[in-house]
Structure 1
């Protein structure tokens, strides 16, 4: 007689707390503001795939070899040789349909690099939390990874992990409470001060998309593609 085991869900509130080397498990990288949400929007906009980078020079080489569109930031600043900012609301105006896209960010793509591009990595955020939970539900072990910021825990990533974890155990946190938590974070307040309150509003549209980016052969495509 065999007994089925309940899937194991583990979480870290900053990427630096991941085991090294990363275990042979599924991972969900959550960098709500902003790279996780940007990957989702890029695939929604018809990008052929999204390749994550932790190094700007490697991204520029990728562009030279493929004529990819590059979006990225480092420390919140633009990157020389890149084509656009990774703010999710800007993606709709980028000519990415049918094209490869390279993405560089200070935290999210660094977390992916830390885990290893040979691992089974999904991208999670507030807007696709329910769909991500459904996508990973059958894995024996899943790590929910709040990317954090340079070793610090950031509230919006923890909120994103809480939303996904809640869907996995059948009790997602209250949407109004979660939205308030996100709006009170330093990053969200900074975006509002910069005139990007609409970005924060969009992040609080919980579970509004079914797009789940999954790493295949080093690039993100929609799960099931």
Structure 2
């Protein structure tokens, strides 16, 4: 059963950033990169970051670090970026002292998806852990919305698709088999990679659906918590 949100506005889901239409439509955007950009930005704001600024270019991020005495969080193909301070893994972020400091983030897929839609004001970041809050925020704007699962190297990935499907379900009010969604995340290749590098504990966090109401929202090029419902 659906609620009346779909009568006020429409929502569309794409399962990889390359499916975003060109020219980019004038809609509300939610970008979903569950492992790991989206979840990291949420955790950075929860940890007290003054704001989080996304970058697609590592050199621009390094200039920002020098100019603003910022903390840089990021990865390139799963590896460290020279000059960056932290991996984007949430368990590493949890141990970092970032209270009140600006943070820059660059990731292989998530920030590329943000760049693809042009870093518009009002862009929100979605994950499995804030799906209900993101859906509520998008529905409250009463405009058409697009939920973008970032994917990887032009291909859909299960964890991003699950995150996007969950937000879409919360938006429309359609029931979903949450345990099946969790199984898809547990069985994905990125989850296996996390286990191989000793961070399988991150999965428990990702599978706690709707466990936070933080909705990172882009304002003047910076993510802040925009949840207002």
- Residue equivalent to 1:128: 130
- Residue equivalent to 1:191: 194
Structure 2 unmatched ranges of 5 or more: 1-5
How far 1:224 sits from its partner (Å)?
4.6
The C-alpha deviation readout for 1:128-154, integer Å capped at 9, x for no partner, is 001101011033110000000010110
The C-alpha deviation readout for 1:43-92, integer Å capped at 9, x for no partner, is 00000000000000000000010000000000011000000100011111
**Cα RMSD between the aligned structures?**
1.3
Structure 1 unmatched ranges of 5 or more: none
* Cα distance between partner residues in 2 of 1:47 and 1:100: 6
- Residue equivalent to 2:115: 113
* Cα distance between partner residues in 1 of 2:119 and 2:194: 30
Worse overlay, 146-155 or 118-127? 118-127
Q: 1:224 to 1:182 in 2, by over 3 A?
A: closer
Count of aligned positions: 222
Q: Show structure 1 runs of 4+ deviating over 6 A.
A: none
Which one of the candidate residues 134, 139, 144 is aligned to 1:141? Answer: 144
Which one of the candidate residues 53, 56, 59 is aligned to 1:54? Answer: 56
* Cα distance between partner residues in 1 of 2:182 and 2:108: 24
How far 1:7 sits from its partner (Å)?
0.7
- 1:1-225 matches, within 5 Å, as 6-138=8-140, 139-224=142-227
How far 1:172 sits from its partner (Å)?
4.1
* Cα distance between partner residues in 2 of 1:172 and 1:17: 25
* Cα distance between partner residues in 1 of 2:91 and 2:224: 20
When normalised by structure 2's length, the TM-score is: 0.94
The C-alpha deviation readout for 1:94-127, integer Å capped at 9, x for no partner, is 1211010000000000100110123431000000
